[in-house]
Structure 1
Amino acid sequence: MDNTDDQHITVQHCFPNNNASCRKEVRTGPGYLLLYIILSCVSVCTVLFNLLVIISISHFKQLHTPTNLLILSLAVADLLVGLFVMPLKTMQLFDSCWYLGKLACSISKIITGLLVLASLYNLVFIAVDRYVAITDPMFYSRTITVYKMSVCIFLGWTFCLLYVIIFMYFNDHLTPSQMYTRCYGECIVFVQFSWVIANMLFFFLVPCSIIIILYSLVFKVARHQAKAVRAVRNGASNNNGPKVSSSSETKAAKTLGIVISFFFAFWIPFYISSLSVKSLTTLSMVWTVFTWLMFSNSFVNPLIYAIFYPWFRESVKCILTCRIFESSSSRFNLYRDHS
């Protein structure tokens, strides 16, 4: 097995005329070709799905709400992951060399960290938004506006950017002069174990706890409201009324289960692997696999938060049938069939 794998890896040098050049591993063969096709498809679908979300919310005035603004922010982060991060990681997976220099390496790491963390914290904001909207709808409708939500989103992106810059600085990766590379043509991140712990705290345990607690409370309130509606309907119809609330409870449980399950499935392996050793490098194959699993969350997010919404299906129909180019398309009623 090992001999067969070695036949598909050609060892060269990134810069043949430079004595300090890194060794270049070019992976070929049917298995690597299939992997390349799969990763490319994931990247393309991530861009397309999130682009549909962005176009829908940006174009149709009916969708200009605080909640949809959060979904838009999430879609922007996930689209950029599919457009920038995934192709870059795919190329590095099949050609280990970095040809763009140390400055571009530093910038790429900052952008990657920003997009991944912004995507995660948008999920947290969505959880907070849903909790406030369901537990206190009157307060939500009076207080939460598009402007205030825009400010929250801006502050969230700013916080993520500041954290990534601080993270890169203290791990000596912020500027080309700080970066340590073992050879010419290398772009990797060495992470101090203390920062692994800090990263796990601020960008896994805290967001994860918030999401679990808020969605648990949302589900509890939704069940309570469903029971109240069922009691009213049963009383009005002498127990012969439709049992709509039961299906509502089932749908709520299913949606929240999907949200939490995918979140854990994509993020837990990455952070568990980050604790397995005291010295980490982005060249590790285990790190690569679990990083790609985390990136795949950007592919699934639009499916969870948008594609199951009736308005999204209606807007996609308008986009794919080119009705979006009609002069009055921005004022289409996307809820008419679901009111």
Structure 2
Amino acid sequence: MATSPLIVRVLLYILLGSVSVLTICGNLLVITAVIYFKQLHTPTNYLLLSLAVSDFLVGALILPFSLDSSVLRCWYIEDVFCKIRLIIDVSLCMSSILNLCCISVDRYYAVCQPLRYRTKINGHVAGIMILVNWSVSVLFGLGITVMGLYHGECDITCLTIIYPITMVMTSCMTFFFPAIVMLGIYIKIFLVAQRQARSIQNTNCQSIKSGASVSKMERKATKTLAIIMVFFLISWTPFFLYYSVQHLTNYSIPATVHESLHWFGMSNSMINPFIYAFFYSWFRAAFRMIISGKIFQGDFANSKLL
């Protein structure tokens, strides 16, 4: 397979390398903020921390290797390392969408069953959800690898699954089924939120008004987290649709299109920190303190974030 001209390769290294650096740095900010600031020690933020760890690992472990294979148009590496890359790739993709599923469950209880939220979703429950999430993701990645793979002499996709139905099932289990579940949960949440908003507007009771302010904050958080889910689906749907259609019909598209769709999906790992900074004032305040180095000048773990 022919390589790209030198100038194109240099530009690709700069562009795709920037995506990798921004992904690592942005998610490292989120990880540091949630771990350091006690105000951010909430079940929802623990789930966001797990998602940030997944995105950070994509930037640190997947994107650098994908950079070489995308730019050089060929993958020269030992078979065992190629399989390790596949395990990590599948595991992290699975982990990201399972984290989003856990977040959608958290938002369901916060909005639809607010009185039961603190008993149903707490730090202990969030920890169990994260543990199960990562265990399932790693086991699934290992299972996909041992189901029958081969490695060509020079293959840009690194590994090709022998049985097309395996790839389709993988796409359904890692993306389509969880995506449908999440969409269903968020539709339910927004229907309940609209009903709550109408009830608040139709009452003058001060106690309800007071409780409504908390509910309003939860609804705002839910909208923000729903935006994160939407961006994830927009980023990865083209890639998984292409992969499913390709393996069902044996239709092949140019390698450049394949790589573009893959990078478009992986770039989602870079987006989430920007969403947090845009919508959450406390994350903005935390990011400013971390970037300025203020947290290294004293103990600010108990600082009141905006």
TM-score by length of 1: 0.78
CA contact (8 A) 1:266 1:294 kept: yes
Does 2:164 correspond to 1:190? no
More divergent stretch after superposition (127-136 vs 277-286): 277-286
Does 2:104 correspond to 1:134? no
CA contact (8 A) 1:110 1:165 kept: yes
Q: 2 CA distance for matches of 1:249 and 1:132? A: 10
CA contact (8 A) 1:40 1:87 kept: yes
Give me the identity figure in percent: 32
Q: Which residue of structure 2 aligns with residue 3 of structure 1?
A: none
Q: 2 CA distance for matches of 1:118 and 1:184? A: 29
| SS at 2:88 equivalent | helix
Among 44, 49, 64, the residue aligned to 2:26? 49
The alignment yields a C-alpha RMSD, in angstroms, of 2.9
- Structure 1 residues 130 and 166, CA gap change in structure 2 (3 angstroms): same
Q: Which residue of structure 2 aligns with residue 30 of structure 1?
A: 7
Q: 1 CA distance for matches of 2:285 and 2:243? A: 42
Q: CA deviation at 1:220?
A: 1.5
Q: Which residue of structure 1 aligns with residue 233 of structure 2?
A: 264
Consecutive unaligned residues in structure 2, runs of 5 or more: 207-212
Amino acid at match of 1:116: C
Does 2:81 correspond to 1:104? yes
Q: 2 CA distance for matches of 1:225 and 1:252? A: 15
Q: Which residue of structure 1 aligns with residue 256 of structure 2?
A: 285
Report Cα offsets for 1:79-114 as digits up to 9, x if no partner. 111112111111111224444422211111111111
Does 2:267 correspond to 1:296? yes
- Structure 1 residues 280 and 299, CA gap change in structure 2 (3 angstroms): farther
Q: 2 CA distance for matches of 1:254 and 1:149? A: 20
Among 13, 17, 42, the residue aligned to 1:65? 42
Q: CA deviation at 1:312?
A: 0.2
Amino acid at match of 1:163: F
Report Cα offsets for 1:289-331 as digits up to 9, x if no partner. 2111110111112333564212101101211222212433111
Amino acid at match of 2:243: S
- Structure 1 residues 275 and 188, CA gap change in structure 2 (3 angstroms): same
Q: CA deviation at 1:122?
A: 0.8
Q: CA deviation at 1:154?
A: 1.0
Q: 2 CA distance for matches of 1:130 and 1:222? A: 11
CA contact (8 A) 1:273 1:286 kept: no
Matches within 5 A, 1:5-24: none
Matches within 5 A, 1:66-85: 66-85=43-62
- Structure 1 residues 137 and 253, CA gap change in structure 2 (3 angstroms): closer
Report how many aligned residue pairs link the two structures: 296
Higher relative CO (Cα under 8 Å, sequence separation at least 6) belongs to 2
Consecutive unaligned residues in structure 1, runs of 5 or more: 1-22, 173-178, 237-243
- Structure 1 residues 257 and 180, CA gap change in structure 2 (3 angstroms): closer
Does 2:84 correspond to 1:114? no
Does 2:198 correspond to 1:227? yes
TM-score by length of 2: 0.86
Q: 1 CA distance for matches of 2:34 and 2:198? A: 33
Q: CA deviation at 1:123?
A: 1.1
Q: 2 CA distance for matches of 1:40 and 1:110? A: 22
- Structure 1 residues 284 and 249, CA gap change in structure 2 (3 angstroms): same
| SS at 1:275 equivalent | helix
Amino acid at match of 2:232: F
> Which structure has greater helix proportion?
2
Amino acid at match of 1:210: V
Matches within 5 A, 1:125-274: 125-172=102-149, 179-181=150-152, 183=153, 188-191=158-161, 192-233=163-204, 255=224, 258-274=227-243
